Amino acid sequence: MMADGTDDAVVAQAATTIIGRLEDRLAELTRSTQEFLVSEIVDLRGDVQLLQLLRDTVSSNIDTFFSAVRNRIPVEHIEPPAAALEYARRLAQRDVSANALVRAYRLGHQEVLKTALEEIRASELDPKLSLAVYELIATVSFGYIDRISQLVVVTYQDERERWLERRNTLRALMVHKLLSGADVDIDAMTTAIRYPLKQNHLALVVWCRESERGDELASMERFVHKLAESLGARDSPLFISIDHVTGWAWIPLLGKAASDTPSRIREFASTTADAPWMAAGNPLPGIEGFRRSHQQALDARTVVTASETEVPQVITASDPGLAVAGLVADNAGAAAAWVGEVLGPLASPTEGDERLRETLRVFLRTGSSYKAAAEELHLHVNSVKYRVQRAVERRGRPIGDDRLDVEVALLLCHWFGPAVLRDD
């Protein structure tokens, strides 16, 4: 007996009658519901095959729901129709959001309930019985939609993960082919890797520490997307994983790349929580720029790997001396011997000598200007003069024709630290 005194058996029989009439209109109801969904949800407008699968999904869901009401099947015993599961997989493969899928179930539910209500009104049942029948149909329908929508979303998410893994693997293979220097059709490759190769390219190598959450790659990819937005990129960046804590990325930049890109990268990284370490190439145009900027980023990362000093969070190919350091990063032992020959005792790993080397490096880089060096180092001019004099004394000989050697040696000390300093 229902709360209003209506007999359960009578309500169930009346509901079965209403459902029977609706089943006679299944084709019509399927068509109208599908048309409504496509008109309301733009993401569901696909090709003929996808639209047919949507039609089958709508039809099978309505039929399954009708069967549940007619046969009084507990909602927890109902499984999603095969067409519904396959449709969820297809949407996942086509980058249609899960939100569109869930919304389709909610709107479809609304349409079917509206039609059921119209049929109940047309049946001219006793008002109390009409209300009881509608409550029964509505209760079963809400339970059905709640269960089935959850199950199809799980299927969607599983397929989405598998699809992205397969797609990213293929994408990575195509990127490696592009980096190899092989001749490629630029338009075909752009389509294959879903990245605009005719623009300017800022290449990055990003890396981070392992996280207990295990979401290192996803976190770094999100960071790259946000960085791209901050740099004004209109197209999505390209990101491929190298291992679980390292990724390669390219950001497409329109027009002539801004000269302040390095400072903008540093500013963004400094204001973003959990930003990864980054090695960046210079923004360069076309396929050759895509390759060259990447090689610059790799060389910068090599310097970081070989260095035994604290490395900034962001290093770029335009950083003074980094390109030169990259050329010798794979042979730090030979570099250390040469640095010792050029700098003498000034190459000692003491804090005092480190201050002297840094002052001399900045002094030489600023055109031997005490004033410019003092401004950059935030020192008094006389302090710079004293340190430069002491550095020359520590070296043991004046800086003459070998000035270039001295500058390069100081740059190597700056980037590699103890790795190229004297042990004695």
pTM of the model: 0.60
Q: Quickly tell me which residue has 């990362």 as its tokens.
A: 301
Strand 277-280 and strand 314-316: the pairing is parallel
27: burial class by Cβ within 10 Å (0-12, 13-18, 19+)? exposed
Distances (CA, A) of 166 to 92, 160, 220, 243: 13, 10, 20, 16
The one-character DSSP state at 136 is H
* The pLDDT value given to residue 6: 64
Compute the distance between CA of residue 73 and CA of residue 334 in angstroms, rounded to an integer.
79
**Which among 87, 93, 238, 91 has a CA at the least distance from the CA of 166?**
93
Average model confidence (pLDDT) for the chain? 89
Compute the distance between CA of residue 171 and CA of residue 164 in angstroms, rounded to an integer.
10
* The pLDDT value given to residue 424: 60
Q: What is the 3-state secondary structure (H, E, C) of 59-84?
A: HHHHHHHHHHHHHCCCHHHCCCCHHH
* The pLDDT value given to residue 293: 95
In the chain, where the domains are located: 3-163, 194-320, 331-420
**Which among 214, 219, 280 has a CA at the least distance from the CA of 250?**
280
* The pLDDT value given to residue 95: 79
Per-residue pLDDT for 367 more than 80? yes
Compute the distance between CA of residue 50 and CA of residue 17 in angstroms, rounded to an integer.
33
Query: Residue 204: in which H helix or E strand, if any?
Result: strand 200-207
More confident residue, 307 or 271: 271
Model confidence at 256, pLDDT cuts 50, 70, 90, reads low
| Topology of the domain covering 194-320 | Alpha-Beta Plaits (3.30.70)
For residues 2 and 132, is the Cβ–Cβ distance under 8 A? yes
For residues 381 and 370, is the Cβ–Cβ distance under 8 A? yes
Compute the distance between CA of residue 381 and CA of residue 374 in angstroms, rounded to an integer.
5
Each residue's pLDDT tens digit, 110-127:
999 999 999 999 988 888
212: burial class by Cβ within 10 Å (0-12, 13-18, 19+)? exposed
- On the question of a common fold for 3-163 and 331-420, the answer reads no
Percent of the chain with pLDDT over 70: 96
Residues in the chain: 424
> SS3 of 116, please?
helix
Q: b vs e for 281-292, b when ≥16 Cβ sit within 10 Å of the residue's Cβ?
A: bbbbbebebbbb
> SS3 of 323, please?
helix
Per-residue pLDDT for 46 more than 80? no
The mean per-residue pLDDT over the stretch 151-178 comes to: 85
The mean per-residue pLDDT over the stretch 381-397 comes to: 91
Write the CB contacts of 2 (distance below 8 Å, at least 6 apart in sequence).
8, 11, 132, 135
Q: What is the CATH number of domain 331-420?
A: 1.10.10.2840
Compute the distance between CA of residue 415 and CA of residue 21 in angstroms, rounded to an integer.
81
For residues 290 and 314, is the Cβ–Cβ distance under 8 A? no
Compute the distance between CA of residue 280 and CA of residue 294 in angstroms, rounded to an integer.
8
Compute the distance between CA of residue 99 and CA of residue 160 in angstroms, rounded to an integer.
13
Each residue's pLDDT tens digit, 195-246:
999 999 999 999 988 877 777 888 899 999 999 999 999 999 999 888 788 8
From first CA to last CA, the distance across the chain in angstroms is 97
CATH class of segment(s) 3-163: mainly alpha
Model confidence at 277, pLDDT cuts 50, 70, 90, reads very high
